[in-house]
Structure 1
Amino acid sequence: MSVPALRQPKFTNTQLKDVKKPIILQPDFVILTLRNKDKLVVSSDAYHGILTVEMEVKCVFCKVTMDLDFVHKENHKKSSKHLALVREHPFIETFSQNLIKQLNCDNFYCTICNVMVTAPFLKRHIMSEVHMQELQKAEARALNYTPS
């Protein structure tokens, strides 16, 4: 008598309590209204300058690196120091809907794409197909997004 190659394990009720179900979190979004009344919807992480790199999270405004932990990241985004630094880096008006912030004299942050860009490559980035596609996604989300 043959045994199936992929047998499903049998669980008792006590074993089921110990099994953790994966939690899939939908990204939070932020609705930004531009001066011309157009709306763009970007992820909360992008708005807050939070980059995920491998198993770490980096805040481009605070220049801190954290472990990839949802609670720690959310607490950081709510901290008064972080919020003050976000306000200290306003969007550059000449780039209007591209949502560019200047981090220092050499580096910029694109909120649409959630990437850091060096000064020599900023205009190239804004004209790139990837940036244009992300901008279109942000505009499309604004048409369909309803806050929960």
Structure 2
Amino acid sequence: MSSATATAALPSGASVLASFPDILVLPEFVFGGLVWILVASTKVYMEISQGWVMFVSVFCFVISTLLFLLYLCGAHGGKSAWVALDAFYQVIASLFYLSAAVVQAYTTIQMKDVLGKFKDYQIDIAAVVFAFAVTLTYVIHMVFSLLRWKSS
């Protein structure tokens, strides 16, 4: 695999799936999708906080999918503005997911005694775990995207 510091250009085509940090989009899809599914499958008691988690998971899933498809198609054409856009998006996604993970954890702690079923509590715990997992993945992607942007 190539390093983010070795090349300052974004990959295109199938090389997106063979380059680091761009391959991290796959765990971002999986963990982000799981957060989305798990939060949507429980009874919502705190609409504001869990609404934020849903917004972040759907927003990041859609934008990551769009960028991934654009990179696969080679729509960026090797321009350095796309490197900056990628770095900017990774920073925003990392901050959004960190806030969503903290909010989901707080909501889960607050709802421990309120939740009617232990199963709902377990699902909320799983959502917290995957929210922090996707946050870590986005942070790693962000660091290497910022290094690529700096070297471009």
The answer to whether TM tops 0.5 is: no
Larger RCO (CA within 8 A; separation ≥ 6): 2
Q: State the TM-score, normalized to the length of structure 2.
A: 0.24
Q: Which has the higher helix share?
A: 2
Question: Which has the larger strand fraction?
Answer: 1
Q: Rg bigger for which structure?
A: 1
Instruction: Give the structure-1-normalised TM-score.
Output: 0.24
